[in-house]
């Protein structure tokens, strides 16, 4: 531990990854300070009572990728984390029919069979395949990416491990993994299924958070990324954190505080102070300077390097790599306080279908058309949506008998023609409500309050560069040993003593904690690269 008043490490940004890094460093005896710009920690995972009595998971809304080792090692259950199951996916269709997938295998099979007997068989086989693929990729998630061009013993060991792992896959699975890495989710699913709504709903997980359509190559991998979440050892389980996703960050913050971490809210860092190529502290907006031997940034790579670090302190090729790092937003969020539940024409009543995900993804063309609008700078006239009603899973989210509804919406391009303003934000909100009302006509009348979050808002309020929800796209050219830049995927940066720990590092975005944990473990090893 350092001298009194001097921190061993400062973590910039109290997102769940920054908090995770702080907790792991403190667990190893380091004295740690977390500086968060907003009035509360959590970043993209906050729960806020935007309208009295109604709690919104403002941005992210479901949990699956959270690394089980973090839950275990930081004892998050003791610190209040409870993950409740989200059991179904319901896709209402414009023709008055619907497609539903349930927790119960037989029930799901029966439902898919209703649409296509062949797809019912294929669905099981596909699930089996994705399970094996997730199993194949899983070890990579908890591994520091080795540099494939380096001959250092550490990198070679890492590459060897990776190589052995891929060899163990067997050729069929290896080829399949290769296809997944390179294909579009639409093409990949076309090889398996014939029911359009099923393919569309499944491929939707391949476009979440990307500026890509279901027919863009690379989306099949993003789809796999969403299959990799595990809860209690079961892959592809999605859950809802009791109290909203804010509970995830709160539990990590609680664990961090218990380990001795100091967390300061309302503390905006404006500069990383570098002396002789080495980070020595940070400067806050109000002029305060705080020293530390190690500085860690939980912000996205572009914000970190293009606004907090003096470019003169960085090699040019690194600056270029960060400039080229793709981080454009494509998603919006609409949160609703509701006086009553939506009543879907295609499956009336308040049945179990409202307790899981509600997906507005009737066909692949629908999704691709939604993308077309965005490609040319408009938000989708008829967007894709992933909707959940948290108050049905955790009644504490809304007053008794009332509800909150979370709508994740795509596409809402960051670079909207003419730019985002209040008027455009509300027009976007109207489009979302209009679209949903086509399936649940009572919705409009049920709305008590509406919060619309555009990619511009995500950048302005939450510091997400370009409004990208994952701190940079999860496309292959910026994953694993390329995240965020070639040769710098091991959480280190060209500035000594300065590290990255946010979603812009391996294994990437999502409520995951993987970047935060691996960064801490690397920092504890010390040294430069």
Partner 1 sequence: MLPGTPFHERTAALCRASNWRPWAGYLAAGSYDLYHDREYWAIRNAAGLIDVSPLYKYLIRGPDAVRFLDRLVTRNVHKCRVGRVMYTPWCDGDGNVIDDGTLARLDESVFRLTSADPSLLWFHDNAAGMDVSCEDISGSTAALALQGPNARKILDAISEPGIADLGFFGVTDVELAGIPVSVSRTGYTGDLGYEIWVDAGEAIPLWDVLMDAGRSYGIVPTGLMALDMARIEAGLILVTVDYVPTHQALLESQKSTPLELGLDWTVDLGKEHFVGRDALARQAETGPEWQLRGLEIDWVSLEQAYGSAGLPPMVPSSAWRTSVPVYDGRGQVGYATSGCWSPLLKKYIALAHLEGTAGDLETGLEMEVTVEHQRLRASATVVETPFFDPPRKRG
Ligand X SMILES: Cc1cc2nc3c(=O)[nH]c(=O)nc-3n(C[C@H](O)[C@H](O)[C@H](O)COP(=O)(O)OP(=O)(O)OC[C@H]3O[C@@H](n4cnc5c(N)ncnc54)[C@H](O)[C@@H]3O)c2cc1C
Omega before 507 within 30 of 0, i.e. cis: yes
The answer to whether residue 466 forms part of the interface with ligand X (CB under 6 A) is: no
Q: Which of 88, 436, 503, 514 binds ligand X (CB under 6 A)?
A: 503
CB 18 within 8 A of CB 37: no
Site for ligand X in 440-459 (CB under 6 A): 458
Q: How far apart are CA 252 and CA 424, in angstroms?
A: 36
Token pair recorded at residue 151:
């001959």
91-to-97, 105, 419 alpha-carbon distances in Å: 9, 17, 32
Each residue 24-63 as x (binds ligand X by CB under 6 A) or -, in order, gives: -----------xxxx----xxx-------------xxxx-
Strand partners of residue 515: none
Handedness of CA 492, 497, 498, 499 (dihedral sign): positive
Strand partners of residue 150: none
Q: Are strands 89-92 and 357-360 parallel, antiparallel or unpaired?
A: parallel
93-to-8, 11, 432 alpha-carbon distances in Å: 56, 47, 16
The answer to whether residue 12 forms part of the interface with ligand X (CB under 6 A) is: yes
Q: Which of 228, 510, 517, 523 binds ligand X (CB under 6 A)?
A: 510
Q: Which of 9, 204, 269, 416 binds ligand X (CB under 6 A)?
A: 269
Stretch touching partner 1 by CB under 8 A, among 24-32, 61-69, 127-135, 312-320: 127-135
Stretch touching partner 1 by CB under 8 A, among 10-18, 78-86, 103-111, 221-229: 103-111
Q: Which of 40, 73, 114, 132 binds partner 1 (CB under 8 A)?
A: 132
305 binds, among ligand X, partner 1, none (CB under 5 to 8 A by kind): none
Q: Which of 333, 353, 402, 483 binds ligand X (CB under 6 A)?
A: 333
Q: Which of 80, 131, 142, 166 binds partner 1 (CB under 8 A)?
A: 131
As measured in angstroms, the least distance from the Cβ of 41 to ligand X is 6
Q: Which of 341, 495, 511, 523 binds ligand X (CB under 6 A)?
A: 511
As measured in angstroms, the least distance from the Cβ of 235 to partner 1 is 11
Q: Which of 170, 315, 351, 445 binds partner 1 (CB under 8 A)?
A: 170
From the list 62, 56, 59, 63, the residue with the least C-alpha distance to 455 is: 59
Handedness of CA 496, 498, 499, 504 (dihedral sign): negative
The answer to whether residue 96 forms part of the interface with partner 1 (CB under 8 A) is: no
469 binds, among ligand X, partner 1, none (CB under 5 to 8 A by kind): ligand X
The answer to whether residue 357 forms part of the interface with ligand X (CB under 6 A) is: no
The answer to whether residue 18 forms part of the interface with ligand X (CB under 6 A) is: yes
118 binds, among partner 1, ligand X, none (CB under 5 to 8 A by kind): partner 1
The answer to whether residue 278 forms part of the interface with partner 1 (CB under 8 A) is: no
21 binds, among ligand X, partner 1, none (CB under 5 to 8 A by kind): none
> Which one-letter DSSP state was computed for residue 45?
G
As measured in angstroms, the least distance from the Cβ of 433 to ligand X is 18
Q: How far apart are CA 279 and CA 273, in angstroms?
A: 6
Q: Which of 227, 318, 371, 462 binds ligand X (CB under 6 A)?
A: 462
The answer to whether residue 470 forms part of the interface with ligand X (CB under 6 A) is: yes
The answer to whether residue 109 forms part of the interface with partner 1 (CB under 8 A) is: yes
56-to-64, 176, 327, 341 alpha-carbon distances in Å: 19, 39, 25, 16
The answer to whether residue 14 forms part of the interface with ligand X (CB under 6 A) is: yes
From the list 197, 203, 204, 21, the residue with the least C-alpha distance to 115 is: 197
Token pair recorded at residue 216:
């863009």
Max CA distance (Å), the chain? 69
Residue nearest to ligand X (CB): 15
The answer to whether residue 227 forms part of the interface with ligand X (CB under 6 A) is: no
Q: How far apart are CA 83 and CA 283, in angstroms?
A: 37
Of 121 and 232, the one with the shorter C-beta distance to partner 1 is 121
Q: How far apart are CA 166 and CA 178, in angstroms?
A: 11
The answer to whether residue 492 forms part of the interface with ligand X (CB under 6 A) is: no
CB 157 within 8 A of CB 165: no
As measured in angstroms, the least distance from the Cβ of 131 to partner 1 is 7
196-to-99, 115, 373, 444 alpha-carbon distances in Å: 10, 10, 21, 28
The runs of H, that is alpha helices, within 298-363 are 301-303, 316-324
> Which one-letter DSSP state was computed for residue 63?
B
Q: Which residues bind ligand X (CB under 6 A)?
A: 12-18, 35-38, 43-45, 59-62, 65, 268-269, 298-299, 331, 333, 408, 458, 462-464, 469-471, 502-503, 509-511
Q: Which residues bind partner 1 (CB under 8 A)?
A: 106-107, 109-110, 117-118, 120-122, 124-125, 128, 131-132, 135, 170
């Amino acid at each position: 531990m350092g001298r009194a008043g001097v921190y061993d490490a400062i973590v910039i940004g109290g997102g769940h990854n920054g908090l995770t890094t702080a907790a792991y460093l403190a667990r190893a005896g380091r004295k740690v300070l977390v500086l968060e710009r907003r009035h509360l920690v959590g970043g993209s995972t906050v729960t806020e009572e935007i309208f009295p009595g109604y709690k919104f998971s403002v941005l992210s809304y479901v949990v699956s990728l959270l690394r089980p080792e973090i839950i275990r090692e930081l004892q998050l259950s003791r610190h209040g984390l409870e993950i409740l199951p989200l059991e179904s996916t319901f896709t209402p269709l414009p023709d008055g029919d619907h497609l539903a997938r349930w927790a119960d295998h037989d029930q799901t099979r029966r439902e898919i069979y209703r649409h296509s007997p062949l797809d019912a068989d294929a669905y099981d086989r596909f699930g089996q395949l994705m399970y094996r693929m997730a199993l194949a990729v899983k070890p990579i998630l908890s591994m520091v990416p080795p540099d494939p061009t380096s001959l250092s013993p550490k990198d070679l060991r890492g590459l060897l491990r990776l190589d052995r792992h891929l060899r163990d896959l067997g050729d069929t699975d290896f080829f399949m993994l290769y296809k997944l890495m390179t294909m579009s989710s639409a093409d990949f699913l076309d090889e398996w299924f014939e029911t359009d709504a099923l393919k569309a709903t499944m491929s939707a997980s391949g476009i979440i958070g990307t500026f890509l359509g279901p027919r863009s190559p690379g989306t099949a991998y993003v789809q796999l990324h969403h299959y990799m979440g595990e809860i209690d050892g079961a892959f592809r389980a999605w859950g809802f954190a009791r109290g909203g996703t804010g509970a995830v960050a709160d539990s990590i913050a609680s664990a961090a505080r218990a380990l001795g971490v100091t967390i300061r809210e309302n503390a905006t860092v404006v500069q990383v102070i570098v002396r002789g190529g080495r980070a020595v502290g940070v400067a806050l907006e109000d002029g305060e300077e705080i020293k530390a031997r190690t500085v860690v940034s939980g912000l996205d790579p572009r914000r970190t390097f293009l606004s907090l670090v003096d470019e003169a302190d960085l090699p040019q090729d690194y600056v270029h790599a960060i400039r080229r790092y793709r981080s454009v937003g494509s998603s919006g969020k609409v949160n609703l306080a509701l006086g009553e539940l939506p009543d879907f024409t295609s499956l009336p009543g308040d049945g179990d279908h409202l307790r899981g995900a509600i997906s507005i993804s009737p066909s692949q063309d629908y999704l691709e058309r939604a993308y077309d609008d965005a490609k040319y700078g408009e938000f989708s006239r008829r967007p894709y949506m992933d909707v959940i009603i948290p108050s049905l899973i955790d009644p504490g989210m809304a007053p008794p008998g009332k509800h909150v509804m979370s709508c994740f919406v795509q596409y809402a391009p960051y670079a909207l023609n003419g730019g985002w303003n209040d008027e455009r934000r509300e027009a976007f909100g109207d489009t979302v409500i209009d679209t949903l009302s086509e399936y649940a006509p009572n919705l409009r009348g049920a709305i008590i309050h509406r919060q619309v979050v555009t990619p511009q808002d995500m950048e302005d309020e939450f510091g997400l560069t370009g409004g990208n929800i994952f701190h940079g796209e999860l496309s292959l050219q910026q994953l694993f040993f390329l995240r965020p830049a070639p040769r710098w995927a091991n959480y280190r940066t060209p500035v000594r003593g300065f590290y990255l720990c946010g979603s812009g590092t391996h294994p990437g975005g999502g409520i995951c904690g993987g970047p935060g944990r691996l960064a801490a473990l690397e920092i504890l090893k010390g040294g430069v690269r």
